[in-house]
Amino acid sequence: MLNKSYLKAGVPIRLTSALYPVRISTADDAVMLGGRDWLNDLLPTGYTGRVLGQGVPAATENCLLCHAGTLRGHVVLGLGNSHVDAQLPVDATLIDEKKLDALEPTNEEREVFEAWKQYQLGVLPYSRATTPGTIAALYFTGYFFAHRRADTLEWVDEPLYPMLETPPPETDVPAWWLLKKKSCLYYGCELTGDFTRSLMQFMTVPGNSGADIREAEADFADVLAYLNTLEPPRYPGRINATLAAQGQQVFEDHCDGCHGTYGERPSYPNKVISLKKVGTDPARSEFMHTLQFAKHYGETWYGEKSKLEATDGYLAPPLDGIWATAPYLHNGSVPTLDAVLDPSLRPTFFVRSRDSTTYDLGRVGWEYEVVSNGQSPDTYDTTRYGKGNQGHTFGAVLTPLERRQVLEYLKTL
């Protein structure tokens, strides 16, 4: 995961300064992950070095672009990257042509660069986000699959099914260490069966052949085994042991039926809660019922060992390491855990800190500023499609003291 590239579309490393507005940077403020080899030491965690074309060192995207978050100044492997920003205006320019020309790229570099550019132009309509920290992963994966033949997985230029015109609801990136407890994947528990091939969906990007995809299965079996060893980081602050013990009792009285039990004999029910009961934003669940991608997925090599099918609710997730996984709810619409427990604290418009050191250990979540409207691109606007912060009001029946007790207990998980 740290050192092997699985994609054949990337940016020549010498030319990365010509990208706009995305930067692949080794600036002083970039947080790097150790344990990497040769040119990977020069790249941020979400990119892996690979020689492409005629000997061109290039930066290719990897899983950690979304699945290695920075928290309190440190990279946490397996934590969803809540700082990823896929916002991009429709008329945005991918490349600063003047900077590119000034770098005097070789013919070999231009060839690699052009292949990356065509890949990006194809996926951009389906990968744009409207909020920092959220992504539309299943939507742009659907685009890749739309160009893959079901029998051979080879890339075809004409899509095999039409993509939906309605922009999809975006989601927060879940923590990988929860995987070991789950019998299904995704927020709606839509994918069941063996998880190995499902981890490989992003290998369907342009450049990879059908053989490339299938041959990587053994590696991804090892990746899955590794993911099942991940543990959440421990809460770094002080915990009031008395309040936490009281909170455990409140939690077991009100919450463990959906979220499971913890301690020496943990249990997890893998329970999908209906939209009517949980009351959270329904857009993502409803969207899954319209995806032609799911049917095509089942007809491919990917569908031989797993099934992708819409449900009518959301999976109540395990809560291991929940203190570290802000923002909350499936769409990242609640910035702190205390606001999950007390719906009256949820802001309608807020700007969340982009500095990983500004984590509020008391309220448990990202520091944020309440603003009056959603006009700024940095603002989370809960009035937009798929962005609602309603629902999961179960904590509202608790007293303020009980909510404080449960909050303290959740820090221990």
Contact 26/33 with Cβ under 8 angstroms? no
Judged against a pLDDT cut of 70, whether residue 62 lies above it is answered with yes
With a CB cutoff of 8 Å and minimum separation 6, the contacts of 131 are 87, 170, 332, 380, 381, 387
Look at residue 74 and tell me whether its pLDDT is greater than 80: yes
pLDDT digits (tens, 9 = 90+) for 11-34: 999 998 888 766 565 443 445 566
Residue type at position 272: V
Query: How far apart are the C-alpha atoms of 245 and 373, rounded to whole Å?
Result: 40
pLDDT of residue 292: 87
Provide the pLDDT for residue 27. Answer: 41
Query: Structure tokens of 243?
Result: 């309040």
**SS3 of residue 75 by DSSP:** strand
Give strand pairing partners of 272: 315
Segment holding 58, helix H or strand E:
strand 56-61
The answer to whether 348 touches 383, Cβ cutoff 8 Å, is: yes
pLDDT confidence of residue 304: 96
Contact (CB, 8 A) for 155 and 147: yes
Parallel/antiparallel/unpaired status of strands 184-185 and 191-193: antiparallel
More confident residue, 295 or 39: 295
How far apart (Å, rounded) are the C-alpha atoms in residues 43 and 223? 21
- Among 180, 163, 197, which residue's Cα sits nearest to residue 287? 163
Q: Is 55 left (phi over 0), alpha (psi -120 to 50) or beta?
A: left
**Highest-scoring range by mean pLDDT, 23-27, 69-73, 94-98, 268-272:** 268-272
Q: Which residues contact 6 (CB under 8 A, 6 or more apart)?
A: 60, 62, 203, 208, 212, 216, 219
The pLDDT assigned to 44 comes to 83
Distance, CA of 124 to chain centre: 17
The whole-angstrom separation of Cα 190 and Cα 188 is 5
Q: How confident is the model at residue 10 (pLDDT cuts 50, 70, 90)?
A: very high
Residue 126's closest CA among 161, 88, 155?
A: 88
Contacts of 215 (CB under 8 A, 6+ apart): none
Q: By C-alpha distance, which of 243, 240, 234 is closest to 406?
A: 243
- 383-401, pLDDT tens digit by residue? 999 999 999 999 999 999 9
> pLDDT digit string (tens) for 285-330?
999 998 888 999 999 999 999 999 999 999 999 999 999 999 999 9
Asked whether the beta carbons of 227 and 143 are under 8 A apart, the reply is no
Average pLDDT over residues 81-101: 84
Q: Return the structure tokens found at 333.
A: 């619409």
pLDDT, tens digit, 9 for 90 and up, residues 207-266: 999 999 999 999 999 999 999 999 999 999 999 999 999 999 999 999 999 999 999 899
Could you give the CA distance from residue 32 to residue 34 in angstroms, rounded to a whole number?
7
DSSP, collapsed to helix, strand or coil, labels residue 98 as helix
Q: What is the pLDDT of residue 166?
A: 72
* pLDDT tens track for 41-55: 778 888 999 999 999
Instruction: Please give the pLDDT value at position 200.
Output: 95
DSSP string, 99-157: HHHHT---HHHHHHHHHHHHHHHHHHHHH-BSSTT-B-HHHHHHHHHHTB-TTT--B-S
Q: Alpha-carbon Rg of the chain, whole angstroms?
A: 22
* Per-residue model confidence (pLDDT) at position 375: 84
pTM: 0.93
Q: Are the beta carbons of 410 and 247 closer than 8 angstroms?
A: yes
Which tokens in the block code for residue 194?
A: 């063996």
Q: What is the pLDDT of residues 154-202, one digit of tens each?
A: 999 999 999 877 777 899 999 999 999 999 999 999 999 999 999 999 9
pLDDT recorded at residue 29: 40
Domain boundaries, the chain: 1-127, 129-321+398-413
